[in-house]
Amino acid sequence: MVCSAQGHVYGISDPTEERSVYPVFDVEWYSSDLVDEDSTNAARRIAAVRRLAAGASRFVNACDFDVEGETIGYNLLRYACGGKETDALRARFSTLTQEDLVKAFDELRPQAQQGLARAGRARHAIDFVWGVNLSRALSQSALGSGHRYRTVSVGRVQGPTLGFLVQRELEIREFVPLPYWKVAGIFEKDGRKINAEYSKAKVETRELAEKVREDCVGGGAVAMAVRRSIAQVGPPVPFNIGDLQKEAYRAFGLNPSRTLQIAERLYLGALISYPRTGSQRLPPSINYRAILQGVGKAAEYAPLVAELQKAEPKPVQGPKDDPAHPAIHPTGERPKRPLDSSEAAMLDLVTRRFLAAFGPSARREMVDVALVVGEHEFRLGGGRTVSPGWMKYYGKYAGYRDTELPAISEGDRFRVVDVLVDQKFESRPPRYNQSTLLEKMEKEGIGTKATRADIIGTLAGRGYVTGESMEVTDLGLSVVETMTKYAPSIISTELTRDIEEKLEAVEGGAEGEAELLRETVRSITNQLAELSANEEAVGKEIDSALMATVSKSFVLGRCPICKTGELRVVRSKTTKKRFVGCSNYPTGCRASAPLPQRGTVKATPKPCQHCSWPVVYIIGGGRPWRLCVNPSCPGKKKP
Amino acid sequence: MKCSICGREAGGGLCQYHVASKARVEEAYLLWVKAYGRMEWKEYLDNIKRNVQTGQWAKEIAEFLKGG
């Protein structure tokens, strides 16, 4: 008899129903519907498992073999099956192909130290205690300042992640660009002209840039140090989930959580292996030949697979390993249903990355030439692929371009036709996007491969960041500022990383989760004492940022009628309906427009190209739709 | 006390963010003078105000200092 768990049906909570009470350290596992109002099916699911468990003589845990899957299985076996969490056997598999599933059930093994489940349960408890206490402390402080209740959350990983964004935001907002000059020379030999960059990419003063021009124009240049080399470029390592998320963002612009969703659908369709893996390694046990054979049945991969099968397949391996699952790879199965375009693209990416791992190194010819004019040096170079190796298998994702190689020999003489001096300014640092933020979290060792994408989504949901470019709001700034002042450990990377490392040790079988929980309680108690002692100041700071953020969310853009006011979402005192009005209404501007009464109104950065009125998205119900708020916009089609 | 530019809480006339931005703007002036040979303070402020790469707070400081 087989019964599905369908995600977490138990969740951590505290026995008090009052949301304002803190500190809360007495936590327990409850049916998820009591903890999370969206988990409406949990109670029915638990009742069904209980019914099926009654009278069962043997239990097999076949949930995903990772921290979350182990936690789900452990809790069901413990609470719904009458304490069978240690007696149950374990089925372990990394793909949902028939062959792997049969093998997993033929080779059932006893639950060992249950490190993954213990670590998972401890992580849930720590994150709950952390989040609930600090969020309640902050929300209550803001409430004490007189405004309506609004949740202001600071999660264990969320705090340091917001800290990274704020640090970058400060650099951007305080940025003053410095001028520099870019110098390039135009050289001529036998009627053929070539361009070369000055050896110093950024010339810091105008005087020096001008001097280079004066010294060189009309003079002669000699080609020195013509270096030709062949570079070996090894194949990219197999995908773990972080790599796949970064590559899918680069190739398709998909955000990390969407990539994970698509990858999970492909896994459930038995098309790829388990995606929530940290491994960059493909062990021989996955049976390279069988997978290649399966992949080769598709016409587009058949010639590539035929080439790879000429020799004994041996993939490149990455440095990261995960004892639970291999790197993400295709299973070689054919889709049993039509795939949508994003699924097909993702499967192609995973398949080609897998094939590329078996390919030989690519060879690129590189040329670097120095053209010397007196004391000045100009450089030009180029590169082209002479042997594509793995790039042939990775196809359009390989990302190497050929540039024309200069046909120059050492000692060739050129006339300096002109020297171009172009003034530039330094660019401000780029904002994080979802992909680069994920990379930063990975590098700093905070969060897990399963949770990072969700944490990034939560930052936007809480109003701490806005837009695709993740611009930090006043509220996000204020939360980090307040924490830095009164409870710096909360946004400290060190504390979060330390907890992650200890949890990883528990995953590996070490004891210590109880002590880790006690440590967390001690740490939070200290932080709460600081926050509580400064409740009034904290409340004032958070509250004014909340007000600023909320008020900004009503601004749609510049008023095209009076040119000085802002068009905002306003609610009529009499009809209670919302509409667009100008902030200069009190001084005479009568610009106004109706708005749909349902859905969230979200401003876009660019005004309408036809009438310069703001363009908004209306979100809610179905697909978000764009709307120029001007009812008389010439761009709107007449019925 | 409120920041003269943004209204945030401030110990003196400016909030901590605008104080830090002011220091940046003043430091960068010396580098601009070195880069161009010479440049008047007001001309510099006009330049960074117009520059698309200048950060929001640095622009606000330039406007503030120009008015002062």
User: Kind of pairing, strands A465-466 and A413-425?
Assistant: unpaired
Whether A175 sits inside 8 A of B31 (CB atoms) is no
The predicted pLDDT at position B47 comes to 96
Any A CB within 8 A of B36 CB: yes
Whether A541 sits inside 8 A of B31 (CB atoms) is no
3-class DSSP state of A571: strand
Mean pLDDT of A512-538: 86
Any A CB within 8 A of B35 CB: yes
Taking CA atoms, B32 is separated from A65, A201, A592, B45, B50, in Å, by 59, 18, 45, 11, 15
Mean pLDDT of A108-119: 84
Q: Which of residues 460-519 of A touch B (CB under 8 A)?
A: 477, 481
CA gap A180, A184 in Å, rounded: 13
Which of A321, A236, A332 is CA-nearest to residue A281?
Answer: A321
The predicted pLDDT at position A479 comes to 87
Residue A334: CB atoms within 10 Å: 11
Mean pLDDT of A203-213: 97
Mean pLDDT of A127-151: 76
Give percent of chain A above pLDDT 70.
Answer: 96
Any A CB within 8 A of B17 CB: yes
DSSP state letter for A190 = T
Rounded to a whole number, what is the distance in Å from the CA of B59 to chain A's nearest CA?
A: 8
Q: Which of residues 256-285 of A touch B (CB under 8 A)?
A: none
Whether B17 sits inside 8 A of A173 (CB atoms) is yes
Q: Is the pLDDT assigned to residue A404 strictly greater than 60?
A: yes
3-class DSSP state of A76: helix
Read off the pLDDT of residues A485-506 as tens digits, 9 standing for 90 and up.
Answer: 888 888 889 888 889 899 989 9
CA gap A21, A133 in Å, rounded: 8
Which of A178, A207, A477 is nearest residue B37 as measured by Cβ atoms?
A207
Please name the residues in contact with A519: beta carbons below 8 A apart, sequence gap of 6 or more: none
Read off the pLDDT of residues A169-190 as tens digits, 9 standing for 90 and up.
Answer: 999 999 999 999 999 999 999 8
The predicted pLDDT at position A38 comes to 72
Rounded to a whole number, what is the distance in Å from the CA of A541 to chain B's nearest CA?
A: 8
Whether B48 sits inside 8 A of A177 (CB atoms) is yes
Mean pLDDT of A516-520: 90
Any A CB within 8 A of B8 CB: yes
Read off the pLDDT of residues A31-85 as tens digits, 9 standing for 90 and up.
Answer: 888 877 777 788 888 999 999 999 899 999 999 888 888 999 999 999 999 999 9
Whether A177 sits inside 8 A of B54 (CB atoms) is yes
User: Kind of pairing, strands A566-571 and A578-582?
Assistant: antiparallel
From the list A274, A393, A394, A432, the catalytic residue is: A274
Any B CB within 8 A of A178 CB: yes
Mean pLDDT of A579-607: 85
Lay out the sheet containing A592-594: strands in order across: A555-558, A566-571, A578-582, A592-594
Mean pLDDT of A77-105: 92
Rounded to 5, what percent of chain B is helix, strand, coil? 65, 5, 35
Search chain A and give the residue with CA nearest B27: A176
Which of A429, A380, A434 is CA-nearest to residue A407?
Answer: A380
Return the residue in B1, B17, B59 with the most chain A beta carbons within 10 A, the one to mutate for interface testing: B17
Which of B32, B35, B58 is nearest residue A174 as measured by Cβ atoms?
B58
Rounded to a whole number, what is the distance in Å from the CA of B25 to chain A's nearest CA?
A: 6
Whether B17 sits inside 8 A of A172 (CB atoms) is no
State the pLDDT confidence band at A553, using cuts at 50, 70 and 90. Answer: low
Q: Which residues of A touch B56 (CB under 8 A)?
A: 173
Residue A171 is inside which H or E element, if any?
Answer: helix A158-173
Any A CB within 8 A of B15 CB: no
Residue A266 contacts residue A272 (beta carbons within 8 Å): yes
Rounded to a whole number, what is the distance in Å from the CA of B40 to chain A's nearest CA?
A: 15
Residue A500: CB atoms within 10 Å: 18
Tell me, yes or no, if A274 is annotated catalytic: yes
Q: Is the pTM for the entire model greater than 0.80?
A: no
Evaluated on CA atoms A493, A498, A499, A504, the torsion sign reads positive
Mean pLDDT of A403-418: 88
The mean of the pLDDT values for chain A is: 89
Whether A541 sits inside 8 A of B9 (CB atoms) is yes
Which of B24, B31, B36 is nearest residue A174 as measured by Cβ atoms?
B24
Q: Which residues of A touch B17 (CB under 8 A)?
A: 170, 173-174, 477
State the pLDDT confidence band at A422, using cuts at 50, 70 and 90. Answer: very high
Q: Is the pLDDT assigned to residue A296 strictly greater than 60?
A: yes
Any B CB within 8 A of A177 CB: yes
Whether A205 sits inside 8 A of B34 (CB atoms) is yes
Residue A285: CB atoms within 10 Å: 8
DSSP state letter for A330 = B
Whether B53 sits inside 8 A of A178 (CB atoms) is no
Q: Is the pLDDT assigned to residue A148 strictly greater than 60?
A: no
Size of interface A-B (CB pairs under 8 A): 65
Return the residue in A145, A168, A173, A484 with the most chain B beta carbons within 10 A, the one to mutate for interface testing: A173
Q: Which residues of B touch A428 (CB under 8 A)?
A: 53-55
Any B CB within 8 A of A103 CB: no
State the pLDDT confidence band at A551, using cuts at 50, 70 and 90. Answer: low
Rounded to a whole number, what is the distance in Å from the CA of A318 to chain B's nearest CA?
A: 39
Mean pLDDT of A538-560: 74
Whether B35 sits inside 8 A of A428 (CB atoms) is no
The predicted pLDDT at position A550 comes to 63
Any B CB within 8 A of A429 CB: no
Search chain A and give the residue with CA nearest B35: A205
The predicted pLDDT at position A79 comes to 95
Q: Is the pLDDT assigned to residue A478 strictly greater than 90?
A: no
Rounded to a whole number, what is the distance in Å from the CA of A204 to chain B's nearest CA?
A: 6
Rounded to a whole number, what is the distance in Å from the CA of A202 to chain B's nearest CA?
A: 12
State the pLDDT confidence band at A106, using cuts at 50, 70 and 90. Answer: very high
State the pLDDT confidence band at A22, using cuts at 50, 70 and 90. Answer: confident
Q: What is the dihedral of CA A299, A303, A308, A310, to 10 degrees?
A: 120
Which of B9, B31, B54 is nearest residue A175 as measured by Cβ atoms?
B54
Rounded to a whole number, what is the distance in Å from the CA of B43 to chain A's nearest CA?
A: 14
The predicted pLDDT at position A351 comes to 98
Assigned token pair, A393: 């298998």
Q: Is the pLDDT assigned to residue A147 strictly greater than 60?
A: no
Any A CB within 8 A of B42 CB: no
User: Kind of pairing, strands A60-61 and A89-90?
Assistant: parallel
Any A CB within 8 A of B50 CB: no
Q: Which residues of B touch A205 (CB under 8 A)?
A: 34-37
Whether B58 sits inside 8 A of A173 (CB atoms) is yes
Which of A178, A206, A540 is nearest residue B31 as measured by Cβ atoms?
A178
Give percent of chain A above pLDDT 90.
Answer: 50
Residue A156 contacts residue A126 (beta carbons within 8 Å): yes
